[in-house]
Amino acid sequence: MAKTKTQYVCSNCGYISPRYMGRCPNCGEWNTMVEQTVQKNDPKKANVSRVSLSGNKSQPQLIGQVNAESAPRVQVDSNELNRVLGGGIVPGSLVLIGGDPGIGKSTLLLQVSGQLAESGQRVLYVSGEESADQIKMRADRLNVSENGNLYIYPETDMASIRKAIEEVKPDTVIIDSVQTMQEDEIPSAIGSVTQVRGVTSDLMNIAKTNGITIFLVGHVTKGGTLAGPKTLEHMVDTVLYFEGDKHHSYRLLRAVKNRFGSTNELGIFQMDEDGLKEVKNPSEIFLEERLKNATGSAIVVAMEGTRPILVELQALIVPSVFGNAQRTASGLDRNRVSLIMAVLEKRAGLMLQNQDAYLKAAGGVKLNEPAIDLAMAISIASSYENVGTDPKECYIGELGLTGEIRRVNRIEQRVIEAQKLGFKRVLVPKYNLKGWTPPKNIQVVGVSTIGEALKTALKK
């Protein structure tokens, strides 16, 4: 009897090693090497081509003979989801949605399934984690209408799922979740690297050869990344992350990969008893609880894709009790906070080396663009000097290491959004004033250095 050969595969990146190692040499993660049995190649299955459900095989074509007419995108009732997907659902695409447990991934996809079914599309909802009764109870709570276009199928076997797709012939398939699906031909545990790779490859072939849109729900690790091999994200067309604090009602949907649109778009939802509802004007929500004349508060107009959003940045500067000052940030990059504080100490004369700094972006949103630098600097200086900022004033600009305020992109859209929400004055980089006309009812002030900006904002 031939000896069974085994190998060790990293569950994080898919690196293969003939022996066990505590740390993966490829990605550097610890205790991620999983033992797997080596499969022998079957010559009968060595050459596998893409075959559609109708039996047609793909053939080489001259590029001039390919029909370049793009299929129209499928619109859902949620404009926020349409925005993140780049304008709607692309037929035949493979979309992966990840997020923490209980964040609302299944809720969102069940609501989308109901909306697509109402529009006349045939939808197959495959669940490996819930029974049909459980899905029906959740559908009733979400007011998902009962019609003849939405099919529920609790199953984990891919052979049975392929057969169901052939029988139902759906336009859209929901797989909840990809880590619970299993290929019988792969001798590995459910959720292993090999299983996830094989299941995703099979679903990709189904989507591309038949024009069926497939949504995959993906589990995440304790570090917040998608569980399974990194090739999972490379194989799909779009990767969406569902973010938010489970103790708050707001959820953020971000695109980190999108072959059919921008990866900078952001969708904002509110979770209530009836499911997820889109937030049409998030700026008002982020600003509605702001205190008047509060110190350490500054409003920034940040760009999330093509949408300008006004967010309150808060800073609390207190004397350090211990030897080393602390730098804590929530929703902001901690390294950027340290950099801005160093510039304020060197270029603006603020003694911050013995001060603890706590910064956050209100509302749970995460910001990382350079245009928030000026608002962060003003909020830090406001808390340190104990001087409040004007509640009708906002700040836009990138801060350089020499103390200069550098220009940012889409300045006109940012200022118009601030004017719509009733702001009376906005500080912008001086070199951003050329080439456009500011809107009425708002004063646009150009600043060139951090010292000038602090003098104007805090009236020093």
- Output the known binding site for ATP: 99-106
Known binding residues: 99-106
Structure token pair of residue 232: 């999972």
Q: Which residue has the tokens 């001086």?
A: 430
Closest CA to 178 of 159, 191, 187, 168: 191
Closest CA to 267 of 251, 247, 290, 288: 251
Q: What is the C-alpha separation between 140 and 123, in angstroms, rounded? A: 17
Structure token pair of residue 41: 């190649």
Which residues are registered as beta bridge partners of 37? Answer: 6
**CA-to-CA dists, residue 247 to 104, 129, 312, angstroms:** 13, 24, 20
Q: CA 365: distance to chain centroid? A: 11
Q: Which residues contact 427 (CB under 8 A, 6 or more apart)?
A: 374, 393, 394, 395, 396, 397, 445, 447, 453, 456, 457
Question: What's the count of helices (H) and strands (E) in the chain, helices before strands?
Answer: 11, 21
Instruction: Output phi, psi for 256, to 5 deg.
Output: -100, -10
State the burial class of residue 168 (Cβ atoms within 10 Å of its Cβ: 0-12, 13-18, 19+).
Answer: middle
Q: What is the C-alpha separation between 205 and 412, in angstroms, rounded? A: 44
Bridge-based pairing of strands 443-447 and 297-304 is unpaired
Residue 183, helix vs strand vs coil: coil
Which residues are registered as beta bridge partners of 445? Answer: 427
Residue 53, helix vs strand vs coil: coil
Q: Which residues contact 335 (CB under 8 A, 6 or more apart)?
A: none
Closest CA to 145 of 114, 124, 112: 114
Instruction: Output phi, psi for 267, to 5 deg.
Output: -110, 135
Instruction: Output phi, psi for 156, to 5 deg.
Output: -120, -15
Q: What is the C-alpha separation between 88 and 38, in angstroms, rounded? A: 42
